[in-house]
Amino acid sequence: MGLFRKLRDTFRPCRVEDRIDDEFQFHLEQRIADLMAQGLPAAEARREAARMFGNRACLVDSTRDRDILTDAASAATTVALIALGGAAASWLPALRAARVDPLTALRTE
């Protein structure tokens, strides 16, 4: 999942729910089609596919929780990298300035 999509989904959680529902529905329909291809009637194929997938609410919740953990790890990594970049951007010029003799620096200006 791209960084832009993660940022967008952070502010629009309903889209995440819609994508999870769409993904679940897609796999359920594929399973129904497979069962019908094996010769089961449509009603029995739907019932069997639903039974094989199990509790839809639990599956959606576990998917959402895993996605949230991934997003939290990405957010923590991003914050750490930004903090590291900020520290380097302020520390390196200060280190270079500390090595210069103040009298020499004033004479050259």
**Overall pTM > 0.75:** no
> What pLDDT, on a 0 to 100 scale, did the predictor assign at position 37?
94
Lowest mean pLDDT among 37-51, 58-72, 83-97: 58-72
In this prediction, residue 109 carries a pLDDT of 67
- Per-residue pLDDT reduced to its tens digit, 29-41: 999 999 999 998 9
User: Rounded to the nearest 10 degrees, how much is the dihedral formed by the CA atoms of 75, 79, 82, 85?
Assistant: -120
